[in-house]
Structure 1
Amino acid sequence: WLPNPIRSVKDLERVVVPDVKDSLSYVYEAIDMTKKVLDNRVPLIGFAGSPWTILCYCVQGQGSKNFDKAKEFCFTQPEAAHQLLQKITDTTIAYLKEKVNHGVNAVQVFDSWGGMLSPTDYQEFSWKYIQQIVDALKPHTEVIVFGKGCWFALNDMAKSGASALGVDWTCSARNARYLSGGEITLQGNFDPSRLFSPPAEIKKMVTQMINEFGKDRFIANLGHGILPNIPVENAQAFVDAVKEYGQ
Structure 2
Amino acid sequence: MGLARFVDHKEFAPLKNDLILRAARGEKVERPPCWIMRQAGRYLPEYHEVKNGRDFFETCRDAEIASEITIQPVRRYAGLLDAAIIFSDILVIPQAMGMKVEMVDGKGPHFPTPLRTESELRTVLEYEVDVLKELDWAFEAITLTRKKLEGQVPLFGFCGGPWTLLVYMTEGGGSRLFRFAKEWINKRPDLSKKLLQKITDVAVEFLSQQVVAGAQILQVFESWGGELSCDDFDEFSLPYLRQIASKVPQRLAELGITEKIPLVVFAKGSWYALDKLCDAGYDVVSLDWLWDPKEACRINHGRVTLQGNLDPGVMYGTNEMITKKVERMISGFGGGKQRHIVNFGHGTHPFMDPEKIRFFLEECHRIGSEK
State TM-score, norm by structure 2.
0.64
Q: CA deviation at 1:198?
A: 2.6
Structure having the higher Rg: 2
Identical-residue share of aligned pairs (%)? 38
Residue 263 (structure 2) pairs with residue 143 (structure 1): yes
Residue 8 of structure 1: aligned partner: 117
- CA distance in 1 between partners of 2:275 and 2:249 (Å): 18
Residue 154 of structure 1: aligned partner: 274
Report if the CA contact (8 A) 2:156-2:219 is conserved: yes
Q: CA deviation at 1:228?
A: 2.0
Report if the CA contact (8 A) 2:314-2:321 is conserved: no
Relative distance call for 1:177 and 1:17 in structure 2 (3 A) is: farther
Q: Secondary structure at the match of 1:42?
A: coil
Relative distance call for 1:180 and 1:17 in structure 2 (3 A) is: farther
Residue 275 (structure 2) pairs with residue 164 (structure 1): no
Report if the CA contact (8 A) 1:134-1:161 is conserved: yes
Question: Which amino acid in the other structure matches residue 111 of structure 1?
Answer: E
Residue 202 (structure 2) pairs with residue 94 (structure 1): no
- CA distance in 1 between partners of 2:303 and 2:203 (Å): 28
Unaligned runs of 5+ in 1: none
Relative distance call for 1:17 and 1:230 in structure 2 (3 A) is: farther
Residue 219 (structure 2) pairs with residue 123 (structure 1): no
Report if the CA contact (8 A) 1:17-1:87 is conserved: no
Residue 356 (structure 2) pairs with residue 231 (structure 1): no
Report if the CA contact (8 A) 1:17-1:90 is conserved: no
- CA distance in 2 between partners of 1:87 and 1:59 (Å): 14
Residue 272 (structure 2) pairs with residue 133 (structure 1): no
Indicate which of 18, 25, 38 corresponds to 2:129: 18
User: C-alpha deviations, 1:176-234, integer Å up to 9, x for none?
Assistant: 11222333210000111221223342233112211111211100001112222211111
Root-mean-square deviation over aligned CA pairs: 1.4
- CA distance in 1 between partners of 2:152 and 2:173 (Å): 38
Residue 156 (structure 2) pairs with residue 45 (structure 1): yes
Report if the CA contact (8 A) 1:138-1:161 is conserved: no
Q: CA deviation at 1:150?
A: 1.1
Unaligned runs of 5+ in 2: 1-109, 253-260
- CA distance in 2 between partners of 1:208 and 1:37 (Å): 36
Q: CA deviation at 1:17?
A: 4.7
Report if the CA contact (8 A) 1:148-1:168 is conserved: yes
Indicate which of 149, 165, 181 corresponds to 1:70: 181
Residue 129 (structure 2) pairs with residue 33 (structure 1): no
- CA distance in 2 between partners of 1:96 and 1:184 (Å): 20
- What are the residue-to-residue correspondences of 1:49-64 with 2, within 5 Å? 49-64=160-175
- CA distance in 2 between partners of 1:180 and 1:241 (Å): 26
- CA distance in 2 between partners of 1:73 and 1:199 (Å): 46
Deviates more, 1:237-246 or 1:98-107: 237-246
- CA distance in 2 between partners of 1:238 and 1:225 (Å): 14
Q: CA deviation at 1:77?
A: 0.9
Question: Which amino acid in the other structure matches residue 160 of structure 1?
Answer: A
Report if the CA contact (8 A) 1:17-1:91 is conserved: no
Residue 333 (structure 2) pairs with residue 213 (structure 1): yes
Question: Which amino acid in the other structure matches residue 144 of structure 2?
Answer: M
Q: Secondary structure at the match of 2:237?
A: helix
Report if the CA contact (8 A) 2:171-2:181 is conserved: yes
Q: CA deviation at 1:85?
A: 0.6
Paired residue total: 247
User: C-alpha deviations, 1:19-57, integer Å up to 9, x for none?
Assistant: 121111121121112212211111111111100000000
